[in-house]
Amino acid sequence: MTTTLRWIFFIVFLGLGIGAGLYYALVISPVQYVDTTPGTLRADYRADYSLMIAEVYHKDQNIDNAARRLAVLSSQPPGEIVQQALAFGQQNGYSADDLTLLQNLAVALQVWQPGSTAQPENTLQPAGTTP
């Protein structure tokens, strides 16, 4: 067998191997991401997630819960996450109401101190005692 013929077979079978590998990886068994964290979201979804948290905050006014929910997105401080979402919203035409919600959450997070909210006292009494 000549050297040229060996190179032709090598290149043909190399191409077939690469083609078969790509077909398997893209058609037969593609990668599927399941149960990923919100931190892996694209910027537009991260902004939408932040907006949903701002809407919940608007309803319940619980800044600790809002900060905890935002912490799932990144290791950045919650205020920075909301600022990024606000900037994204301004650049991509979010409605004025949505931008107001994000702005209100950003302002609340600027003055928020972790753990500063007083926890309610346990009002349960042992059986047979009076308060």
pLDDT in tens, 37-68: 777 888 899 999 999 999 999 999 999 999 99
- Mean pLDDT score, 63-88: 91
C-alpha 45/C-alpha 5 separation (Å) is 54
Using the predicted structure, report yes or no on whether residue 118 has a pLDDT greater than 70: no
Q: What does the pLDDT read at residue 112?
A: 82
Q: Where are the domains of the chain?
A: 38-111
Using the predicted structure, report yes or no on whether residue 14 has a pLDDT greater than 90: yes
User: Residue 84: enclosing H or E segment and its boundaries?
Assistant: helix 78-91
Q: What does the pLDDT read at residue 49?
A: 93
* Residue 50: CB atoms within 10 Å: 28
In the structure, what pLDDT confidence band is assigned to residue 9 with cuts at 50, 70 and 90? Answer: very high
C-alpha 38/C-alpha 49 separation (Å) is 8
**Phi-psi region at 102: left, alpha or beta (left = phi > 0; alpha = psi -120 to 50):** alpha
C-alpha 109/C-alpha 113 separation (Å) is 8
Using the predicted structure, report yes or no on whether residue 24 has a pLDDT greater than 60: yes
- Mean pLDDT score, 1-25: 93
- Which pTM does this prediction carry? 0.63
In the structure, what pLDDT confidence band is assigned to residue 82 with cuts at 50, 70 and 90? Answer: very high
Q: What does the pLDDT read at residue 74?
A: 83
